[in-house]
Amino acid sequence: MYAPRSAVEAVFGNIKNRGTEDVRRGYMQVTGLPLVTLAVTAVCCNIRIVEKHARVRTAA
């Protein structure tokens, strides 16, 4: 029951982490469309994860 929540909390933790996305209050100034802002942030996070995975895979 709590597994999906743990996954979501981990993603939000990575988004707010200073070593990854470093998203905090005032990071993006968007008037309206808050869901688009969240989606763009999630896409950036996903791209970073895919790039990290590709670097690890090519190094092995």
pLDDT in tens, 21-55: 777 776 665 566 777 777 788 888 888 888 888 88
Q: Give residue 29's pLDDT.
A: 59
**Rounded-to-integer distance, Cα 25 and Cα 42, Å:** 16
> pTM (2 decimals)?
0.47
**Rounded-to-integer distance, Cα 2 and Cα 24, Å:** 26
Band the pLDDT of 60: cuts 50, 70, 90. low
Q: Give residue 32's pLDDT.
A: 64
Q: Give residue 47's pLDDT.
A: 85
**Rounded-to-integer distance, Cα 36 and Cα 52, Å:** 24
Q: Give residue 14's pLDDT.
A: 78
Longest dimension (CA), the chain: 44
